[in-house]
Amino acid sequence: MRHVTKLQNSPPGEMLLQSALLGEFPWLLHGFSTRRGGVSSFSTAPTSQAARDLNLGKVSWDDRENVMENRRRFQRALGAAKMRLVVLRQIHSDLIHVIDGDTMPSAGDGIITNRPGLLLAILAADCLPILLADTKQHVVAAVHAGWRGTVRKIAQKAVGRMMLMFGSRPEDMRAAIGPGIRVCCYKVGQDVGEEFEGQFSYASKLFVRRADKTPLEAKYSRLFKTYKSFDEIPENPQLYLDLVQANVTQLREVGLAPNHIYSDAPCTSCHPELFFSHRRDAGHTGRMMGVIGIKRTD
């Protein structure tokens, strides 16, 4: 993904991250926003970030006018100023809409289209924005995958819907998983572990089990052991979910080649200077976007 390999050297106003995997197709537009380059002011932002947050979601602390201006800025940076932005009311489901006419969907967590001029958007602040493209049939999809959508196999179902509705073949598809919370920071409850165990035979490979760090352990983390197996039970164990690997595995199961899946975007929780994070900021945060669309030819 561009501009991500050295986060500390990213330009101060960088608002757009893109994957080279999708960037090679001239008919396709895509991108993942950061929190940079906007007109919003998030109260808990780093001092250097104040008054220039690119919040793209409707949240209580921000004005609608700011959000609309931020969206315009983001679309201009993407080269998609004239495209129609399609934003769902996300409900942590496996509900996927296919847009083949003028009627736009309201609620759900996945969108598919082969219509040029539409920019499909996923709002996120830790959940994964997953972008899919059929490079032969020119079909695109955007998927919102938190743990609930992931356990319901929403990414896999989106690929299946593309195959059913448009004749897409997995070997022709590319996927880019955008910035989201990674296993280093995504502590979940035992109930989430049980949900995954009930759905996936490989569930144990999606979790790291370790004890919570004390301040001393956090300072000297290399001296302390991380437990990567359910067979090793530390005192007061906690579960950390690898949401990225869960979705990569699903995409591979449905037929996408490993080298056709980009999954190395950074952790939103680890980088407050670059990303919003619902978990890190205890729910009081902004929203980023992952977007994908087909360029108009006229």
Gap between the Cα atoms of 162 and 293, Å rounded: 15
* Distance (Å) of CA 61 to CA 37, 104, 132: 18, 27, 32
Gap between the Cα atoms of 37 and 84, Å rounded: 21
Q: Is the pLDDT at 12 greater than 50, yes or no?
A: no
Amino acid 22: pLDDT: 97
Structure tokens at 109: 């967590």
Phi, psi angle pair for 13, to nearest 5°? -100, 15
Q: Is the pLDDT at 216 greater than 70, yes or no?
A: no
Phi, psi angle pair for 231, to nearest 5°? -75, -15
Return the DSSP state at 261: E
Gap between the Cα atoms of 150 and 109, Å rounded: 11
Query: Which amino acid type is present at position 76?
Result: R
First to last CA, the chain: 30
Query: Which amino acid type is present at position 200?
Result: F
Amino acid 297: pLDDT: 85
> For residues 157, 207, 242 and 151, what is the CA-based torsion angle, rounded to 10 degrees?
20
pTM summary value: 0.89
Instruction: From 174, 29, 154, 41, select the one nearest 96 (Cα to Cα).
Output: 154
Q: Which residue has the higher pLDDT, 198 or 216?
A: 198
Q: Which domains does the chain have, with CATH numbers?
A: 12-181+244-294 (3.60.140.10), 187-240 (no CATH)
Amino acid 226: pLDDT: 54
Q: Where are the alpha helices (DSSP H) in 14-169?
A: 20-23, 64-78, 147-151, 154-166
SS3 149: helix
Gap between the Cα atoms of 12 and 21, Å rounded: 25
Instruction: From 261, 267, 4, select the one nearest 125 (Cα to Cα).
Output: 267
SS3 122: strand
Element (H, E) at 288: strand 288-294
Amino acid 102: pLDDT: 85
Confidence grade of residue 15 (pLDDT, cut at 50, 70, 90):
confident
Radius of gyration of the chain (CA): 19
Confidence grade of residue 5 (pLDDT, cut at 50, 70, 90):
very low
> Would the CA dihedral through 176, 178, 183, 186 be positive or negative?
negative
Number of H helices, E strands in the chain: 7, 16
Gap between the Cα atoms of 253 and 171, Å rounded: 12
- Parallel, antiparallel, or unpaired: how do β-strands 110-113 and 96-99 relate? parallel
Structure tokens at 175: 């996927």
- Parallel, antiparallel, or unpaired: how do β-strands 261-262 and 173-177 relate? parallel
Q: pLDDT per residue over 117-159, tens digit each?
A: 999 999 999 999 999 999 999 999 999 999 999 999 999 999 9
Instruction: From 178, 179, 187, 177, select the one nearest 241 (Cα to Cα).
Output: 187
Q: pLDDT per residue over 51-105, tens digit each?
A: 689 999 999 999 999 999 999 999 999 999 999 999 999 999 999 999 988 889 9
243-253 helix and 154-166 helix, angle to the nearest 10 degrees: 30
Contact 123, 283 (CB under 8 A): no
Q: Is the pLDDT at 229 greater than 60, yes or no?
A: no
Q: Is the pLDDT at 8 greater than 90, yes or no?
A: no
